[in-house]
């Protein structure tokens, strides 16, 4: 565990939280993560929140604002992490992660038009996924 520049070496708690999210394959709340890691020694919410903060910073995890939940990134290491969009199925809860240049470009354009320095975007689409849409 060296200088910890990014994701090259996670701490124990970070690795535990990352593991829980990867295994879940979908969004989890911080408290659900905590419950799943009780046997691994985690006891307090703060341990989970601290790990999540770092994982988000490293680009390994996304926060879903409209769900108050966290999900493992499907494209770790790629650019545009901060302009990722999500489709969230209101029926089954599945989350599809989308990296779209046209969308990112439009967001940047809107910001520029408004003389707004864009740091990060939250784009979350709610509806029904292909598997859940009525015939």
Partner DNA sequence: CGTGATTGCGTAATGATATAACGTGTGCGA
Partner DNA sequence: TCGCACACGTTATATCATTACGCAATCACG
Among 22, 25, 26, 43, binds DNA (CB under 7 A): 43
Give the Å distances, CA to CA, from 121 to 33, 109, 110, 114.
Answer: 25, 13, 12, 15
Q: Is 31 in the site for a second copy (CB under 8 A)?
A: no
Residues 6 or more apart whose CB falls under 8 angstroms from that of 79 comprise none
Is residue 13 near DNA by the rule CB under 7 A?
Answer: yes
Cα–Cα distance for residue pair 25/61, rounded to 1 Å: 12
Binding partner at 118 among a second copy, DNA, none, C-beta below 5 to 8 Å by kind: a second copy
Tell me how far apart the alpha carbons of residues 56 and 34 are, in angstroms, rounded to a whole number: 17
With CB cut-offs between 5 and 8 Å by kind, which of a second copy, DNA, none does residue 41 bind?
Answer: DNA
Residues in contact with DNA, counted by CB under 7 A, come to a total of: 25
User: 61 has which bridge partners?
Assistant: 72
Rounded CA separation 5/11 (Å):
12
Name the binder of 106 from a second copy, DNA, none, CB < 5-8 A by kind.
Answer: a second copy
> What residues from 65 to 124 belong to the interface with DNA (CB under 7 A)?
68-69
Residues lying near DNA in the complex (CB under 7 A): 1-4, 11-14, 29-32, 41-47, 49-51, 54, 68-69
């Amino acid at each position: 565990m060296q200088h910890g520049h990014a994701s090259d070496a996670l701490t124990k708690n970070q690795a535990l939280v990352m593991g829980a999210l990867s295994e879940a394959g979908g969004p989890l709340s911080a408290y659900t993560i905590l419950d799943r890691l009780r046997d691994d020694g985690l006891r307090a919410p703060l341990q989970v929140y601290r790990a999540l903060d770092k994982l988000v910073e490293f680009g390994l995890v996304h926060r879903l604002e409209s769900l108050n939940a966290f999900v493992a990134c499907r494209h770790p290491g790629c650019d545009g992490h901060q302009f990722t969009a999500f489709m969230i199925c209101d029926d089954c809860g599945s989350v599809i992660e989308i990296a779209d240049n046209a969308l990112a470009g439009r967001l940047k354009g809107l910001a520029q038009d408004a003389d707004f320095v864009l740091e990060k975007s939250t784009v979350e689409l709610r509806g029904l996924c292909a598997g859940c849409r009525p015939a």
